[in-house]
Amino acid sequence: MARLDSDFCGIRSPNPFWLASAPPTDKAYNVERAFEAGWGGVVWKTLAEAGPPVVNVSGPRYGALLAVDRSLIGFNNIELITDRELESNLAEIAAVKRRWPDRAVLVSVMVPCREESWKAILPRVEDTGCDGIELNFGCPHGMSERGMGSAVGQVPEYIQMVTGWCKRYTRLPVIVKLTPNVTDIRFPARAAKAGGADAVSLINTVNSIMGVDPDTLRMSPDVGGKGTHGGYCGPAVRPIALHMVAEIARDPETAGLPICGIGGIGSWRDALEFIALGAGSVQVCTAAMVFGFKIVQEMVSGLAAYLDAKGLASVEALRGRALASVTEWRYLDLNRISKAVIHQDLCIQCGRCHIACEDTAHQAITAQRDGRRYFEVKEEECVGCNLCVNVCPVPGCITLRELAPGEIDRRTGQAVSGTALDWTQHPNNPLRSGA
């Protein structure tokens, strides 16, 4: 069988599935249950410096975006970092690590942007015997208003400065957790590397407001009539996270920087995508909160079965395999022509493809044949946009067929060229070479 054991910037664990810094990792009881279920590691919920405890709201801390069947699309939270005393957390971290020496135990830390604050807390965290430090530069609510979290993560100069302090005051691997609430994720990642970070983890949550209650006309959820922006996570943010992971993995300036992928991971299939785009390990939160800790068992068995089926000996053998397929739009092949095909043996005659194409696309799907309801593609109008494939409720009923070189495109009347042409060489591009 394929090996799932992980060595992420020197942090070893029996599998690459870790629980993210969040409510599921707030105390020893939860972490012990997670390890019993099979998780390879955890990132302990973010610690603060000694002093007055953080106060969380009592009332709605979470909001959700649900599909019509009440399955979770997205999740929002306004919960702050741990509201438990530093000493209690440190004692529990040490005890858990002693009992589970083979599991990765990392600690998330957030303190004010002062060198003395980091100098004070890091040795105390290191004394627990934990395996690494994760710098919380991503939290978008509550703590950011106090000059921490994403208030640091949105300023590359701060990231580099604080990371440098942390590398000075701890011997442990330092992982910088990045916020997605930036224009270009590459700049924070470059700053983390310049500061000496051993790795980055991403994404933290996306700044968001979940909605407005139509009866009260207050934002939802609200706490005593008022609400605030929170952190958005869950399946809906996975495409954002995948994009940002790939951007860092293929950026020459961050080449070789280990990446821990986070954002909407709920299955081995989701984790596979992050690893194939360059992540060496992954973190999970929302899915565990919705379905419980035992979901890791399907993740472990599913990923192992996939690696075996592909003839890959380890997770490391999968890492980055998809990166070569990621490029800029201008390098896409403009001579490739595809047409939709409706497989009539699977069609249930619902008409969704016709309505979508007729109203919002290219009027390329007929609705009748010989006076009866019948849906088929008019190739002379189809541009291969894939809209019909996405709205069809039957898997595999509609697919795209790529025209072979020399085949006539009925839409243009031209033969398909077998030579790839990207936008940099397109006749309509005024900036093309030699123009």
Q: Which residues are catalytic?
A: 139
Secondary structure (DSSP) of 158-227: HHHHHHHHHHHH-SS-EEEEPPS-SS-THHHHHHHHHTT-SEEEE--PEEE--EE-TTT-SEES-BTTB-
Residue 29 CB neighbour total at 10 angstroms: 10
Q: How far is CA 236 from CA 65, 125, 347, in A?
A: 9, 34, 29
Q: How many residues does the chain have?
A: 435
Asked if residue 236 lies in contact with residue 177, where contact means CB atoms within 8 angstroms, the answer is: no
Omega prior to 175 cis, within 30 of 0: no
Omega prior to 14 cis, within 30 of 0: no
Residue 222 CB neighbour total at 10 angstroms: 16
Sort strands 72-77 and 230-233 into parallel, antiparallel or unpaired.
Answer: antiparallel
Rounded to 5 degrees, what are φ and ψ at 75? Answer: -135, 140
